[in-house]
């Protein structure tokens, strides 16, 4: 079996599909995606050469999405915080996102971070792409095998969601209340209810 690889591509529909074929420890990075994906069939848009666009092949971990958020926020550095479940935020604006796709024997962690351009209303992170890639690689290697309790504690420290009044769209209804905590599974606790998937809107 071949060892981990670093694959650099000028352009690709999405780095996620390339990464699926590679062993744990590999990374796929590109200048441009023609069909970059977010969660739930949403699009991830970045003009060529303006963003870090990478997919990391990692071992599975029960809190991988939060662990990847922690790794990415730390790699981005000062002022970059986390909005549940895993948006990278600069103040109130989104600077990056994370898409975790779990396979039988590994997981693909896709990370997009705006560097020199961002869509209207979004933010950029002031970092060099290659330096950020290396720092991300190191932090992901550490956090993807960390104790779940350590991931949860660090996520809480980096969160801009906890303590806020939020709105969550659930199937068939809307829940509003204070985001009190995340539970052991990574679900957001809003007014006593545990929300395991979805999008939150920070109110006020």
Please state, in angstroms and rounded to a whole number, the distance separating the CA atoms of residues 170 and 33: 31
Please name which of 67, 84, 54 lies closest in space to residue 159, comparing C-alpha atoms. Answer: 84
Task: Count Cβ atoms within 10 A of the Cβ of residue 35 and give its class: 0-12 exposed, 13-18 middle, 19 or more buried.
Answer: exposed
- For the CB of residue 16, give the shortest distance to ligand BT5 in the complex, in Å: 5
Peptide bond into 200 cis (omega under 30): no
Q: Which residue's CB comes closest to ligand BT5?
A: 97
The answer to whether the beta carbons of residues 72 and 96 sit under 8 Å apart is: yes
User: What minimum distance in Å lies between the beta carbon of 162 and ligand BT5?
Assistant: 18
Q: H or E stretch including 76?
A: helix 64-76
Q: Which is nearer to ligand BT5, 150 or 202 (CB)?
A: 202
Q: Cα(27)–Cα(9) distance, rounded to whole angstroms?
A: 11
CB of 192 to ligand BT5, least distance (A): 25
Q: Token match 């079996």: residue?
A: 1
| Closer residue to ligand BT5 (CB): 42 or 142 | 42
Q: What are the tokens at 152?
A: 């949860």
Point out which residues bind ligand BT5 (CB under 6 A). Answer: 14-16, 33, 36-40, 42-46, 53-55, 94, 97-99, 110-112, 114, 118-119, 122
Measured from the CB of residue 182, what is the shortest distance to ligand BT5 in angstroms? 17
Contact present, 72 and 135 (Cβ < 8 Å): no
Q: Which of 94, 202 has the CB closer to ligand BT5?
A: 94
Based on CB atoms, which residue is closest to ligand BT5, 13 or 59?
A: 13
Q: Toward ligand BT5, which CB reaches closer, 150 or 160?
A: 160
Quote the least distance from Cβ 77 to ligand BT5, whole Å. 18
């Amino acid at each position: 079996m071949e060892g981990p690889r670093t694959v650099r591509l000028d352009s690709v529909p999405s780095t996620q599909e390339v990464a699926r074929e590679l062993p744990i420890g590999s990374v796929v990075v590109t200048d441009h995606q023609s069909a970059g994906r977010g969660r739930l069939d949403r699009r991830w848009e970045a003009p060529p050469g303006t963003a870090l666009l990478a997919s990391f092949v990692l071992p599975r971990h029960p809190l991988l999405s939060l662990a990847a958020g922690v790794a990415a926020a730390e790699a981005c550095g000062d002022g970059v915080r986390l909005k549940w479940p895993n948006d990278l935020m600069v103040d109130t604006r989104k600077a990056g996102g994370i898409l975790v796709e779990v396979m039988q024997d590994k997981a693909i962690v896709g990370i997009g971070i705006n560097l020199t351009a961002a869509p209207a209303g979004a933010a950029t992170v002031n970092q060099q792409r290659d330096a950020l890639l290396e720092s991300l690689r190191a932090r992901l290697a550490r956090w993807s095998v960390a104790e779940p309790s350590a991931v949860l504690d660090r996520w809480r420290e980096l969160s801009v969601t906890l303590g806020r009044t939020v709105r969550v769209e659930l199937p068939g209804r809307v829940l509003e209340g204070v985001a009190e905590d995340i539970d052991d599974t990574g679900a957001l606790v809003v007014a006593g209810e545990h929300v395991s998937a979805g999008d939150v809107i920070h109110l006020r």
